[in-house]
């Protein structure tokens, strides 16, 4: 019987182990950028980050698609304590169609529908915002300027700042008011936001005045600008 060369066997074993680690993206070589699931990782890797399909476990557990170290695509996330989310992800946030299951003694409770930036927005494909009422307004412009949780409100008349706004009233479902120059707004908003604004202003042609009423719901989180044109 031919003797076994122990050193050659060790080299072969190490080589196969190294190849296996490269293929499966083990934890030491492949980072996951969410602290809650950053611990052990098995799966696809690209440029030192979890990228493709994989499983990552920390205090929570995620199995599914990754992009640049974050859950991105389809995946299942198991939270510490029981809740499980199964659905779509974008850059580490629940975004798109999905369902969140809560385990209770009386059985499972499921929240199923559409998510935007980690927030549940409804059972159907909800638009970013809805205008409910716009009495005595020539036009309304609602634009999303970026990420955040603030609303800036601009009052305009004939392309200029409306300095004749009186008896202004704002009713809103969350947030706190702030003022900067001629503009007002809300900060620390929780979405969806229900907003009602009413005020009195002068007619740009005559000396008479009229009341303006505006209502809307902003569903999608972000930094928003609402411009009311008289």
pLDDT per position in the chain (230 positions), as tens?
455 454 454 444 444 444 444 444 344 589 999 999 999 999 999 999 999 999 999 999 999 999 999 999 999 999 998 899 999 999 999 988 899 998 877 778 888 898 888 999 888 777 899 999 999 999 999 999 998 899 999 999 988 999 899 999 999 988 999 998 888 999 999 888 899 999 999 887 767 899 999 999 998 889 999 999 98
Tokens of 106: 């009386």
Q: Is residue 172, in this structure, part of any structural domain at all?
A: yes
pLDDT recorded at residue 23:
43
**Residue 148: enclosing H or E segment and its boundaries?**
none
Q: Are residues 169 and 107 in the same domain?
A: no
Is the model's pTM score more than 0.85?
no
Q: Residue 221 is part of which domain span?
A: 129-229
Q: Are residues 112 and 167 in the same domain?
A: no
Q: Are residues 160 and 101 in the same domain?
A: no
Burial state string for 19-30 with b = 16 or more CB within 10 A and e = fewer than 16: eeeeeebebeeb
CA-only gyration radius of the chain, Å: 27
Q: Are residues 116 and 34 in the same domain?
A: yes
Residue 75: how many other CB atoms lie within 10 Å: 22
Residue 68: how many other CB atoms lie within 10 Å: 14
Q: Is residue 1, in this structure, part of any structural domain at all?
A: no
pLDDT recorded at residue 104:
76
Is 219 exposed, middle or buried, given 0-12, 13-18 or 19+ CB atoms closer than 10 A? middle
For the chain, the domain total comes to 2
Euclidean distance between CA atoms 79 and 72, whole angstroms? 17
Q: Are residues 167 and 90 in the same domain?
A: no
Cα–Cα–Cα angle for 129, 177, 119, nearest 5°? 40
Taking alpha carbons only, the member of 33, 34, 53 closest to residue 42 is 53
Q: Are residues 139 and 204 in the same domain?
A: yes
């Amino acid at each position: 019987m031919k003797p076994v060369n122990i050193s050659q066997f060790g080299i072969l074993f190490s080589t196969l182990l190294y190849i296996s680690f490269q293929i499966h993206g083990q934890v030491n070589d492949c980072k996951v950028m969410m602290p809650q699931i950053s611990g052990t990782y098995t799966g696809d890797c690209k440029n030192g980050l979890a990228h493709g399909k994989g499983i990552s476990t920390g205090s929570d557990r995620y199995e599914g698609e990754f992009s640049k170290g974050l859950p991105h695509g389809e995946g299942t996330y198991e939270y510490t304590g029981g809740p499980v989310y199964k659905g779509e992800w974008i850059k580490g946030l629940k975004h798109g169609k999905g369902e969140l299951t809560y385990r209770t003694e009386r059985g499972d409770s499921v929240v199923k529908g559409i998510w935007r930036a980690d927030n549940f927005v409804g059972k159907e494909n909800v638009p970013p915002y809805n205008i409910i009422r716009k009495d005595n307004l020539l036009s309304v412009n609602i634009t999303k300027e970026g990420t955040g949780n603030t609303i800036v409100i601009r009052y305009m008349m004939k392309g200029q700042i409306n300095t004749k706004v009186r008896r202004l009233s704002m009713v809103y479902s969350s947030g706190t008011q702030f003022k900067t120059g001629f503009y007002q707004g809300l900060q620390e908003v929780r979405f969806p936001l229900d907003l009602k604004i009413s005020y009195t202003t002068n007619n740009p042609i005559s000396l008479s005045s009229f009341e303006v009423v505006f209502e809307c719901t902003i569903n999608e989180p972000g930094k928003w600008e609402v411009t009311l044109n008289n």
